[in-house]
């Protein structure tokens, strides 16, 4: 049933529908800047000329939904943006207008999480998302205080009866892009750039290394963490050092920090189009982020369909079937984790075939992908 629902939602998200006007929203001040002045960050200004944006109003009909972003911002070209795209399409497909039935509040720092969540509760939203594991404690506390409101957290588990926990099998998709990287590299040296070093991003790291070493046990994989998901300058610095050391492919799982990884690869390619440097994107198909002149440095992306998961849970909640207290894990078998094939010149048929073979091994249960460093060590011992 879940797979059917996901496939249906995928079609709806792809087709889209014309917005139906269903009322107007009130005007008031909300913070909507990304919180970063770094030149490597590409920002979308969602505020009006006087520095304000539409005030979220909780209601168009019987159901309304909203989300609170992590610090990466709603236009991070990755995780938060994917969630917002899913929420927007859900709203549009059900005849809502932004600010009147669905909206978001952007968090510029961690101290914004709780106020943003409480603000949406006060505005009467029926379902409120916390986008990212860093909102765990605030979602847990606000949900306890507001048992009649439904909440959902993405990428973590909150054990409350009014909270639905959305997780993904990121290690599975990361394994597959590791396979692809091992097939593509000409130096047998690849890199991984993570945001914050913790359980979630360790899943990306472990899966990536396992996939690469399943193809070539002798491949070198350098791992570095930036310490945050909104540090594009740090991402660029790490990427510069990696590429200078002979690494030719970098997989990033770092949100907005990955903008810096892309910028460094594009700078190298722009200065010398013959240079073979690649980036593996994350969460969304980041092909567009890799465009530089007539070239593109995005080899592939590990797509995590946060947009579909967000729309799926919202659909259930609207239909009176909210999965409160449940953990919903989306993976390869649900088509909620996949590998982008957009760059057909770089991502060849040979690589595609190898990835497909490993995908079948994973979905059949023949291969159990490690989720952390301990499991990775055991996996590698058995290669």
| pLDDT tens-digit readout, 145-163 | 999 999 999 999 999 999 9
Please state which of the ranges 66-80, 252-266, 283-297, 329-343 shows the lowest mean pLDDT: 66-80
Residue 368 makes CB contacts below 8 A (sequence gap 6+) with 379
**H or E element: which one contains 88?**
helix 79-93
- The pLDDT assigned to 78 comes to 81
User: pLDDT digit string (tens) for 253-299?
Assistant: 999 999 999 999 999 999 999 999 999 999 999 999 999 999 999 99
Separation of alpha carbons 93 and 284, rounded Å: 21
Q: Which residues pair with 151 in a beta bridge?
A: 128, 163
pLDDT band for position 73 (50/70/90)? Answer: confident
pLDDT of 201 reads 97
pLDDT band at 79 (very low <50, low <70, confident <90, very high): confident
Q: Which CATH superfamily is domain 2-16+36-44+61-169+306-334 in?
A: Response regulator (3.40.50.2300)
Instruction: Work out the average pLDDT over 82-107.
Output: 95
Question: Which pLDDT score is estimated for 6?
Answer: 53
Band (pLDDT 50/70/90 cuts) for residue 61 is: low
Cα–Cα nearest to 46, from 30, 61, 60, 64: 30
Q: What pLDDT score was predicted for residue 76?
A: 83
Q: Is the pLDDT of residue 176 over 90?
A: yes
Taking the C-alpha atoms of residue 378 and residue 2, their distance in angstroms, rounded to an integer, is: 32
Res. 62 pLDDT band, cuts 50 70 90? confident
Rounded to whole angstroms, the Cα distance separating 140 from 161 reads 10
Angstrom distance (rounded) from CA 202 to CA 361: 22
Is 313's pLDDT higher than 90?
A: yes
* pLDDT mean over 20-47: 35
pLDDT tens sequence across 343-365: 999 999 999 999 999 999 999 99
pLDDT in tens, 182-211: 999 999 999 999 999 999 999 999 999 999
pLDDT for residue 77: 79
Distance from the Cα of residue 292 to its chain's centroid? 23
What is the third-level CATH fold of 170-304+337-381?
Rossmann fold (3.40.50)
2-16+36-44+61-169+306-334 and 170-304+337-381 share one CATH topology?
yes
Contacting residues for 190 by C-beta, under 8 A, at least 6 apart: 181, 182, 212, 219, 220, 221, 222, 247, 248, 249, 250, 251
Residue 143 has pLDDT above 90, yes or no: yes
Pairing assessment for the beta strands 150-154 and 127-131 based on DSSP bridges = parallel
Where are the chain's structural domains?
2-16+36-44+61-169+306-334, 170-304+337-381
Q: What is the mean pLDDT of residues 38-57?
A: 35
Average pLDDT value for the chain: 87
Euclidean distance between CA atoms 77 and 86, whole angstroms: 13
pLDDT at position 42, please? 36
pLDDT > 90? residue 64: yes
Query: Which residue is associated with the tokens 């795209």?
Result: 85
pLDDT band at 304 (very low <50, low <70, confident <90, very high): very high
């Amino acid at each position: 049933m879940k797979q059917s629902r996901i496939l249906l939602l995928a079609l709806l998200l792809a087709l889209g529908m014309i917005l139906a006007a269903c009322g107007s929203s009130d005007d008031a001040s909300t913070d909507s800047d990304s919180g970063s002045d770094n030149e490597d960050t590409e920002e979308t200004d969602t505020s009006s000329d006087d520095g304000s944006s539409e005030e979220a109003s909780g209601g168009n009909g019987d159901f309304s939904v909203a989300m609170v972003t992590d610090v990466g911002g709603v236009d991070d070209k990755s995780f938060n943006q994917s969630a917002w795209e899913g929420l927007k399409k859900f709203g549009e497909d059900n005849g809502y207008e932004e600010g009147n039935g669905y909206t978001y509040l952007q968090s510029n720092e961690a101290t914004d999480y709780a106020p943003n969540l409480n603000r949406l509760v006060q505005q009467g939203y029926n379902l409120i998302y916390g986008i990212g594991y860093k909102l765990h404690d605030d979602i847990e506390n606000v949900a306890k205080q507001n048992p009649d409101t439904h909440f959902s957290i993405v990428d973590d588990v909150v054990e409350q009866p009014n909270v639905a926990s959305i997780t993904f099998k990121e290690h599975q998709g990361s394994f597959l892009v590791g396979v692809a990287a091992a097939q593509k590299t000409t130096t047998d040296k690849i890199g991984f750039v993570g945001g914050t070093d913790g359980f979630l991003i360790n899943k990306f790291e472990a899966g990536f290394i396992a996939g690469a070493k399943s193809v070539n046990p002798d491949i070198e994989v350098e791992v570095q963490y930036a310490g945050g998901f909104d540090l594009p300058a740090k991402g660029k610095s790490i990427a510069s050092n990696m590429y200078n050391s002979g690494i030719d492919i970098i997989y990033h799982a770092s949100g907005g920090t990955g903008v810096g990884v892309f910028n460094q690869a594009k700078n190298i390619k722009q200065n010398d189009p013959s240079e073979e440097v690649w980036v593996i994107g994350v969460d969304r198909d980041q092909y567009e982020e890799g465009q530089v002149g007539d070239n593109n440095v995005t080899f592939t992306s590990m797509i995590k369909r946060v947009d579909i998961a967000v729309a799926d849970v919202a659909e259930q909640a609207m239909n009176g079937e909210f999965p409160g207290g449940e953990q919903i894990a989306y993976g390869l078998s649900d088509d909620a984790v996949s590998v982008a094939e957009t760059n057909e010149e770089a991502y060849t048929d040979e690589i595609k075939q190898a990835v497909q073979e490993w995908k079948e091994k994973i979905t059949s249960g023949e291969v159990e992908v490690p989720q952390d460093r301990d499991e990775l060590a055991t996996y590698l011992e058995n290669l």
